Amino acid sequence: MFCLSELEDTVRVPPDLLKLPLEVAIKKVLQKLFLDKVFSLTFFLLSIGLCLFIYDIKSAEGGFVLPGDGAPTYKVVFIIVVFRPFVGEVIAARFKESDSNGLRLTLGFFEDIYVPAPLIPRPNRCEPDPCNRNQMRWVWIFEEQEYIIDDSYQINFRVENISYPPVPTERAEDAKLFAPMVITGAIDDDGLGPVSWWEGCSERNNEDDDT
Amino acid sequence: MKNIIVKANAGALTNFEVLDLLNSRGASKDTTRVIASETVSRSEYKVYDYLMETAASTQTRDSVTKFSDKCKGFKLAKAEILNIINLRPSSDVELTPILEKPDEREIDIEGILALVQELLPPLPTVEAHKENEQEETEDGEQPNMETSV
């Protein structure tokens, strides 16, 4: 779910950083620009993902000081580590919250993973959560056993889709925080969902083979 | 900000490699997380915390490289090999969601699981994680031992 991306940018190094070695100064400026940002250039119909940290600086040219500016500007080619899973990838996550639309999962550093109701295994039911008045909880019913989806176990999901919604120009006061990158996940397949569902499964299969 | 994407994908990284990178920047050494904050940001620590609960935390460069090499005989896609390394499946039912259309390809599921068992270290256990949490509050020492002041 992680990869390297190579980018080129013009970087202005403020004078107070110039006492540092050039590479360190440039890295500092870049970190501020990219850290924690979901970089998406819709112009290229290509999206980078969640930028995590600078991996390396490949080259830095220039250092010219533009008229009226006190700081030198460099053309920098650099490589960053990004979080960008591929469709079909199976990822271990934790439960964050759920409502009547489905589940929301989290990786800690990334929290916009949604499993919509159709991708939760069926038959299932959605009921008010007895432990949490504001939430709904989902329960999978299989062979007369009930399997609750909650925060007790790691949940494995498969990436179905990644979208990069455009930045809204206006937002309602109480709207959810804008998520620049949203992953849609599925847990409706063998081996997916809370890992407790599948523990001991291979032993059960072996028993079936023996009978 | 006028930036250009030279290469959107300049190489995939396993979870292990990202954890290794974070460690080399000092993520593991500073349990208070204050001193290392010059090189490791809060969001990088969140990635570090996530990875420490996965198979990556017990893997070594040697085991991951060996595993990738030996996978070549199993006709798996690079993405699938990466996924297997990251998840370290230990049973049939954990492995199949990682594979694309396993029924249509003749994949040696047992062989892959045996290789995982042989080459990739087991997952960190939940108990071990809890022990680590206790240790962190005592600066890495056992709660019963004398603590240095």
| Cβ contact, residue pair A192, B54, below 8 Å | no
The pTM score is 0.82
What would the CATH number be for the domain defined by A89-197? Answer: 2.40.50.140
Question: How far is the alpha carbon of A73 from chain B, nearest alpha carbon, in Å?
Answer: 13
In a domain, B77, yes or no: yes
Kindly tell me if the per-residue pLDDT of A170 is higher than 60.
yes
Is B74 among the domain residues? Answer: yes
Residues B51 and B89 in one domain: no
Work out the burial of residue A60: count CB atoms within 10 Å of its CB; fewer than 13 is exposed, 13-18 middle, 19 or more buried: middle
Same domain, B87 and B110: yes
Per-residue tokens: B102: 């396993």
Q: Which of A3, A113, A198 to mutate to test binding with chain B, by most B CBs within 10 Å of its CB?
A: A3
Greatest extent of chain B over all pairs of C-alpha atoms, in Å: 63
Instruction: Look at chain B and count its residues.
Output: 149
B38 touches chain A (CB under 8 A): no
Q: Is the dihedral of CA A35, A41, A42, A44 positive or negative?
A: negative
Residue ranges per structural domain of chain A: 2-83, 89-197
B45 and B69 inside one domain: no
More confident residue, B34 or A43: B34
Comparing CB atoms, the residue among A10, A47, A191 nearest residue B97 is: A191
Q: What is the mean pLDDT of residues A103-126?
A: 93
Whether A50 and B47 have beta carbons less than 8 Å apart is answered as: no
Q: Give CA–CA dist A155/A142, Å, rounded.
A: 18
The CATH class for the domain spanning A2-83 reads alpha beta
Q: Give yes or no: residues B84 and B97 share one domain.
A: yes
Supply the ipTM of this predicted assembly: 0.84
Confidence of residue A63 (pLDDT cuts 50, 70, 90): confident
Which chain A residue has the Cα nearest residue B24? A55
User: Do residue B69 and residue B46 come from a single domain?
Assistant: no
Same domain, B74 and B31: no
Q: What is the mean pLDDT of chain A?
A: 84
Q: Which domain holds residue B20?
A: 13-55
pLDDT band at B51 (very low <50, low <70, confident <90, very high): very high
pLDDT tens digits, B64-99: 999 999 998 898 999 999 999 999 999 999 999 999
Looking at residue A29, the DSSP 8-state letter turns out to be H
A178: contact with B, CB 8 A cutoff: no
Cα–Cα distance, A189 to A191 (Å, whole number): 6
Total number of domains constituting chain B: 2
Q: Which two tokens stand for residue B2?
A: 């006028």
How much is the pLDDT for A120?
A: 93
Mean pLDDT rounded to a whole number for chain B: 80
How distant is the Cα of A86 from the closest Cα of chain B, in angstroms? 8
Token output for A161: 């889709």
Task: Calculate mean pLDDT across residues B87-114.
Answer: 91
Q: What percent of chain A lies above the pLDDT cut of 70?
A: 84
Asked if pLDDT for residue B148 goes beyond 50, the answer is no
The verdict on residue B143 lying in a domain is no
Examine residue B84 and state whether it is found in any structural domain, yes or no: yes
> 3-state secondary structure string, A180-200?
CCEEEEECCCCCCEEHHHCCC
Do B17 and B63 sit in the same domain of this protein?
A: no
Beta bridge partners of A113: A105, A183
- Same domain as B91, residue B49: no
Question: Minimum mean pLDDT among A16-25, B24-33, B42-51: which range?
Answer: B24-33
Same domain membership, residue B75 and residue B40 = no
* 8 Å CB contact of A89 and B5: no
CATH number at residue B83: 1.20.1250.40
A89-197: same fold as A2-83?
no
Is A53 within 8 Å of chain B by CB?
Answer: yes
> Which are the contacts of B1, defined by CB distance < 8 A and separation ≥ 6?
A9, A33
Residues of B in contact with A90 (CB under 8 A): 83, 87, 97-98
Within an 8 Å CB–CB cutoff, is residue A44 touching chain B?
yes
